Chain A
Amino acid sequence: EPEVTQTPSHQVTQMGQEVILRCVPISNHLYFYWYRQILGQKVEFLVSFYNNEISEKSEIFDDQFSVERPDGSNFTLKIRSTKLEDSAMYFCASSEFRVSGANVLTFGAGSRLTVL
């Protein structure tokens, strides 16, 4: 069964450092997403990406965040200058078409980011 793969599984960084989280979506999927889950809290939508541009972003996705599809397979989330409150599990997801009753998200296993 096709999977969304994420690297690294866990990253520890110092406050103020740049972090790049990587994702390889399912190959025939066209929509890509990042979600995050702060420990003990809800899974929150960050951003969606389609046709090489941001389709939608939440209030959380401020100027410190950026996404990119640098080649035909990877989808990255960059946090420019990490803050303590960026510590969370970050989930990548993809879908073949826009999510509906017929088209659902496939999630990766997540990248745990710890900011010290």
Chain B
Amino acid sequence: AQTVTQSQPEMSVQEAETVTLSCTYDTSESDYYLFWYKQPPSRQMILVIRQEAYKQQNATENRFSVNFQKAAKSFSLKISDSQLGDAAMYFCAYKLAGGGADGLTFGKGTHLIIQP
């Protein structure tokens, strides 16, 4: 079974600085998708960034980028120029590609605190 591990329950960063959230996963599959979701307090989870395992190039979305290391099964999220609105729970998630597997496997989350 696939597992996703986020080893940092909580991270704190000064506004405007850069922070990296770590995520590792365990799978024997070669084709899958990885996601980072953000959950602000009392709000729904929203997608931050996604990565397809067959793509070697790291995904980037504005201030958010990933460091995808397939061999190491690592998928970290880098947030540059941190803003107060980035404060949230961040969840890493994995999904097997193809049919027959609909569910995402999530990590336990990292609580990101932005200090003004």
Residues of chain B within 8 A (CB-CB) of A91 are 44-45
- In the complex, the answer to whether B104 meets A108 with C-beta atoms within 8 Å is no
Determine whether B42 belongs to the interface, using a CB cutoff of 8 Å to chain A. yes
Find out whether the CB atom of B108 lies under 8 angstroms from the CB atom of A56.
no
Query: How far apart are A109's CB and chain B's nearest CB, in angstroms?
Result: 4
* Given known contacts A99-B33, A101-B33, A101-B50, A108 and B105 CB-to-CB distance under 8 angstroms: no
**CA A114 – CA B46 in complex, angstroms?**
24
Q: How large is the interface on B (under 10, 10 to 19, 20 to 34, 35 or more residues)?
A: 20 to 34
Nearest-Cβ distance from residue B22 to partner chain A, whole angstroms: 16
- Whether A87 sits at the interface, judged by CB under 8 Å, is no
Check A28 for interface membership: any CB of B closer than 8 A. Answer: no
Is A51 at the interface (CB under 8 A from chain B)?
no
Contact status B33-A100, CB under 8 Å:
yes
Residues of A within 8 A of B99 (CB): 98
**Chain A residues touching B, majority SS:** loop
| Residue pair A99, B44 in contact (C-beta under 8 Å) | no
The 8 A CB mask of A56-92 against B (1 = contact, 0 = none) is: 1010000000000000000000000000000000010
CB pair B44 A43 closer than 8 Å: no
Q: What does the 1/0 interface line of B7-40 toward A look like (CB < 8 Å)? A: 0000000000000000000000000010101000
A3, B44: Cα distance in complex, Å: 10
Closest to A112 in B: B42
Q: With a CB–CB cut-off of 8 A, which chain A residues contact B47?
A: 104-105
Q: Which of A33, A98, A104, A108 interacts with B44 by CB under 8 Å?
A: A108
B113 on interface, CB distance cutoff 8 Å: no
- The reply to whether B105 and A107 contact each other, CB–CB distance below 8 Å, is no
Beta-carbon nearest neighbor of A48 in chain B: B102
Q: At the interface, yes or no: B72 with Cβ under 8 Å from chain A?
A: no
Q: What is the chain B residue whose CB lies nearest that of A1?
A: B46
Can you list 25 contacts pairing A with B, beta carbon distance less than 8 Å?
Answer: A3-B44, A33-B103, A35-B103, A35-B104, A42-B4, A42-B107, A42-B109, A43-B109, A44-B106, A45-B102, A45-B104, A48-B103, A56-B101, A58-B103, A91-B45, A98-B102, A99-B33, A99-B95, A99-B102, A100-B33, A101-B51, A104-B35, A107-B46, A109-B42, A109-B43
